[in-house]
């Protein structure tokens, strides 16, 4: 049983809420520009053409996470039948409809492929709950800025994990590790992780109490190799987010947090990171170490309410190898402690969904990356006699790995077209008498259309498949999680035509 009265507040969380920071804009050259708030504005740097960087600075320097207005993605997550609030659960625990579950699974597949197949991390699995009074874990809890869910067992109190760190560290403690294994890479995608976030900060998919988190650690022989590995992993992070469908240069702002003594000795790690990012970044500097890490960066997305959300991070941890007694045998046959890097290459999967929906709201006609669209093509029949052709077309596209729906409902064509557009279907094909006989398919292309005018292409089936596959590329594929025929689909979230 979860007992919210028994929740503990870590020393790190208290420190996070009270720590004093110095703020800068750091340029790719390494130049620091000190920032301060004056008359409700951030000054100290010319933010011309850097509007989102200024919004990030204002958001972070204010240190307020409370949400006073509902962001646009909340409407979209319900309208598209992706996810919704679950009143019967604790706040921040969502229900996911088939389309939302499909998108989550595809994102998980994408991140797993990059971290395991391309980066070469070893995939493991660890428990979701741990002894609250375990001496090593208690130390870690006090150094991590998060509130815990506490579960009452028969003889002990357990806490639900808020990351995969301690599971992997306990595993590493029992391993025989050689310098030849370094950097040693371990990875787990936690479904689920739990953090008892403040109620006023919970909103939609932006900030949750239960979430899916990819967590990748690298155990490095020394600080020099840790800094080198950090840069390799930064390239992985950029590749993951680019492949999801983000434009890294347009959609993200970089924030770096560092302890001043570490910065004085390792200015190169900041300079190299910002230089690789190719645009200025926000830098928060602490005079002393408050957490287990001395350095971290975050890729931040700025939403329609000017709130920032970290979609990726990596940290340099200088404490936990000692706390967990993780050792490796070095070249001189002595036992040494590694430096540990903590990376989430995408951040919480649900937060990626939030960012994609918020990003879509700024488009002429909102849409998701094609590989993530739950229904990539919808075939609309004019009359029952066109059903055979619609099924034939659907089966041909499904065979090619395309997700296709058929609107075979007893509705007028105008309503079918309206519903397809309301659900952001990327490609719409109307099948009537003419289409059953011709070779060319009339395809409405959403990303090229406007509110007032549809953009239509005429393709043969082969040309259409080629067009789709060129856009999707080698992205992960899963079939639809809902029936192909709309007549067989239930309605998960009821909307009036006016609301749509």
Q: Can you give the CATH number for the domain in which 421 is found?
A: 3.40.50.800
- Domain membership flag for residue 496: no
- Same domain as 53, residue 30: yes
- Same domain as 422, residue 353: no
- Domain membership flag for residue 57: yes
- Same domain as 380, residue 356: no
- Same domain as 388, residue 317: no
Q: What pLDDT sits at residue 7?
A: 46
Q: State the 10-residue block means of pLDDT for the chain, 500 residues long.
A: 44 61 95 94 94 95 79 95 95 96 98 96 96 80 72 88 92 97 97 87 92 97 97 97 96 97 96 96 93 95 93 96 96 97 97 98 96 98 94 96 97 95 97 87 95 94 96 96 97 70
User: Which of 305, 334, 360 marks a domain boundary?
Assistant: 360
Q: What pLDDT sits at residue 248?
A: 93
- Nearest alpha-carbon partner for 229 in 94, 306, 343, 117: 343
What total of structural domains would you count in the chain? 2
Triad 482, 484, 488: Cα angle to 5°:
75
- Domain membership flag for residue 495: no
Burial class (CB in 10 A: 0-12, 13-18, 19+), 481: middle
- Domain membership flag for residue 500: no
User: Which of 321, 339, 360 marks a domain boundary?
Assistant: 360
Q: pTM of whole model > 0.95? A: no
For residue 334, give the DSSP letter: -
- Same domain as 270, residue 381: no
Describe the crossing of helices 165-173 and 135-143 by its angle, rounded to 10 degrees: 140
- Same domain as 119, residue 205: yes
- Same domain as 120, residue 24: yes
Identify whether the C-beta of residue 161 lies closer than 8 Å to the C-beta of residue 167.
Answer: yes
Domain range holding 164?
4-360
Identify whether the C-beta of residue 441 lies closer than 8 Å to the C-beta of residue 429.
Answer: yes
- Same domain as 55, residue 190: yes
Q: Can you give the CATH number for the domain in which 188 is found?
A: 3.30.930.10
- Same domain as 468, residue 330: no
What are the backbone angles phi and psi of residue 4, rounded to the nearest 5°? -65, -25
474 three-class SS: coil
Q: What pLDDT sits at residue 144?
A: 62
- Domain membership flag for residue 493: no
Identify whether the C-beta of residue 398 lies closer than 8 Å to the C-beta of residue 479.
Answer: yes
Identify whether the C-beta of residue 123 lies closer than 8 Å to the C-beta of residue 187.
Answer: yes
- Same domain as 438, residue 328: no
Q: What pLDDT sits at residue 12?
A: 53
Q: What pLDDT sits at residue 1?
A: 37
Pairing of strands 184-194, 122-123: parallel
């Amino acid at each position: 049983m979860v007992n919210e009265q028994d929740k503990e507040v870590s020393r790190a969380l208290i420190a996070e809420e009270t720590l004093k920071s110095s703020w800068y804009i750091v340029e790719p050259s390494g130049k620091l520009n000190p920032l301060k708030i004056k008359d409700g504005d951030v000054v100290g740097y010319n933010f011309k053409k850097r509007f989102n960087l200024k919004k990030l600075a204002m958001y972070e320097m204010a240190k307020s996470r409370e949400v006073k207005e509902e962001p646009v993605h909340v409407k979209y997550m319900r309208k598209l039948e992706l996810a919704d609030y679950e009143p019967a659960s604790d706040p921040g625990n969502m229900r996911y409809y088939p389309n939302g579950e499909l998108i989550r699974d595809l994102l998980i597949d994408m991140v797993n492929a990059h971290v395991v197949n391309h980066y070469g991390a070893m995939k493991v699995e660890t428990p979701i709950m741990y002894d609250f009074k375990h001496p090593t874990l208690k130390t870690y809890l006090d150094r991590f800025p998060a509130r815990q869910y506490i579960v009452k067992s028969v003889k002990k109190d357990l806490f639900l994990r808020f990351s995969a760190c301690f599971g992997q560290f306990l595993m590493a403690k029992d391993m025989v590790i050689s310098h030849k294994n370094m950097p040693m890479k371990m990875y787990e995608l936690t479904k689920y992780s739990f953090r008892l976030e403040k109620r006023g900060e919970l909103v939609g998919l932006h900030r949750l109490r239960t979430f899916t988190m990819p967590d990748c650690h690298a155990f490095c022989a020394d600080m020099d190799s840790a800094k080198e590995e950090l840069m390799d992993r930064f390239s992985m992070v950029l590749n993951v987010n680019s492949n999801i469908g983000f434009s890294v240069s347009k959609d993200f702002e970089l924030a770096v947090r560092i302890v001043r003594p570490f910065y004085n000795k390792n200015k190169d790690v900041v300079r190299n990171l910002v230089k690789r990012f190719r645009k200025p970044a926000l830098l928060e500097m602490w005079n002393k170490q408050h957490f287990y890490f001395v350095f971290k960066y975050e890729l931040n997305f700025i939403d329609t309410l000017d709130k920032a959300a970290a979609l990726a991070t990596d940290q340099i941890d200088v404490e936990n190898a000692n706390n967990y007694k993780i050792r490796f045998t070095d070249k001189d046959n002595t036992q040494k402690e590694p430096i540990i890097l903590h990376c989430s290459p995408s951040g919480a999967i649900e937060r990626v969904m939030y960012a994609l929906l918020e990003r879509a709201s700024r488009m002429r006609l909102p849409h998701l990356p094609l590989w993530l669209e739950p229904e990539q093509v919808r075939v609309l029949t004019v009359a029952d006699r066109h059903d055979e052709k619609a099924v034939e077309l659907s089966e041909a596209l499904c065979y090619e790995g395309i997700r296709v729906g058929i609107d075979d409902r007893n509705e007028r064509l105008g309503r079918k077209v309206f519903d397809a557009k309301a659900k952001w279907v990327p490609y719409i094909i109307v099948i009537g008498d003419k289409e059953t006989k011709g070779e060319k398919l009339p395809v409405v292309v959403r990303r090229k259309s406007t509110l007032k005018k549809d953009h239509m292409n005429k393709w043969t089936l082969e040309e259409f498949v080629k067009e789709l596959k060129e856009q999707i590329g080698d992205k992960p594929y899963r079939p639809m999680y809902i029936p192909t025929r709309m007549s067989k689909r239930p309605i998960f979230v009821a909307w009036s035509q006016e609301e749509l």
